[in-house]
């Protein structure tokens, strides 16, 4: 006979999904801002294939709609960080948010990539064409662990090699920046519009001084 004494989930990868309330007005304003930006700039080439990627840090734009989304992104980052560390105190850190807009026309997609140098990455869905079948509009995350092929036989969800789903309009998803992901090709005639962002923490000067004075600051 045996008696269980403890159960731990080691090396888990958190992913959180949020719904931005009353997003219809917000999204209409974001689309207008996007049209103005695209009229002024051809964008840049990153992971986007056949689509448009805005230039610079979108969250530096002072438009009310963009600043409202920035506030929502910050709230989401703080909430997910508290999930992984109950001792997290925002005042102990400075947070840098860097965002950009993606527009994927028919056939456009984002190649597999990560976001090095950041802690969290997120995507907000401004426009997501509806589909009845197929993988259009889906985002796919790949398991960062290796040598899991033999786990398929047990059909254990915690060891599946990937997670694929189609977020809805107004949804904001957040995940660790090291997590490999990509976006499936748009199989519709309508554009898929998203705003992605990175969140990077730096310890505040005051927190650093207190830490050197003997106070333990948890950042696990």
Rounded-to-integer distance, Cα 120 and Cα 216, Å: 23
Rounded-to-integer distance, Cα 159 and Cα 88, Å: 29
3-state secondary structure of 165: strand
Q: What is the full DSSP assignment across 180-196?
A: -EEEPPP-SSSPEEEEE
* DSSP H helices in the chain: 23-40, 64-84, 205-212
CATH number listed for the domain at residues 16-204 = 2.60.120.620
Q: What is the largest CA-CA distance in the chain?
A: 71
Asked if residues 104 and 51 have their Cβ atoms less than 8 Å apart, the reply is: yes
Using a cut of 0.95, tell me whether the model's pTM lies above it.
no
At 204 the pLDDT is: 85
Q: Which two tokens stand for residue 142?
A: 């790949």
Helix and strand totals (H; E) in the chain: 3, 11
Rounded-to-integer distance, Cα 51 and Cα 12, Å: 33
- Provide the CB-side half-sphere exposure for 91 (13 A, CA): 2
Rounded-to-integer distance, Cα 130 and Cα 190, Å: 9
Rounded-to-integer distance, Cα 74 and Cα 81, Å: 11
Average pLDDT by consecutive 10-residue portion of the chain (220 residues)?
92 95 97 97 95 97 98 98 96 97 97 97 97 95 89 88 96 98 97 98 72 39
Nearest Cα residue to 164 out of 155, 156, 152, 173: 173
Rounded-to-integer distance, Cα 103 and Cα 145, Å: 31
- Provide the CB-side half-sphere exposure for 216 (13 A, CA): 3
């Amino acid at each position: 006979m045996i008696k269980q004494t403890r159960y731990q989930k080691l090396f888990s990868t958190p992913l959180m999904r949020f719904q931005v309330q009353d997003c219809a007005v917000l999204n209409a304003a974001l689309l207008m801002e996007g049209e103005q930006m695209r009229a002024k700039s051809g964008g840049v080439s990153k992971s986007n294939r056949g689509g448009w990627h805005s230039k610079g840090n979108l969250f530096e734009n002072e438009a009310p709609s963009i600043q409202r989304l920035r506030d929502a992104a910050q709230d989401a980052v703080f909430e997910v960080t508290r999930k992984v560390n109950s001792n997290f105190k925002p005042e102990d850190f400075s947070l840098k948010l860097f965002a950009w807009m993606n527009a994927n026309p028919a056939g456009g997609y984002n190649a597999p990539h990560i976001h090095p140098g950041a802690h969290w990455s997120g995507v907000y869905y401004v426009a997501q064409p509806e589909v009845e079948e197929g993988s259009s509009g889906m985002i796919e995350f790949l398991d960062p662990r290796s040598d899991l092929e033999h786990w398929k036989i047990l059909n254990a969800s915690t060891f599946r090699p990937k997670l694929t789903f189609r977020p809805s309009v107004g949804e904001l998803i957040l995940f660790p920046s090291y997590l490999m992901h990509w976006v499936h090709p748009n199989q519709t005639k309508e554009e898929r519009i998203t705003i992605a962002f990175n969140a990077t923490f730096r310890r505040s000067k005051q927190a650093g001084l207190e830490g050197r004075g003997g106070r333990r600051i948890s950042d696990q």
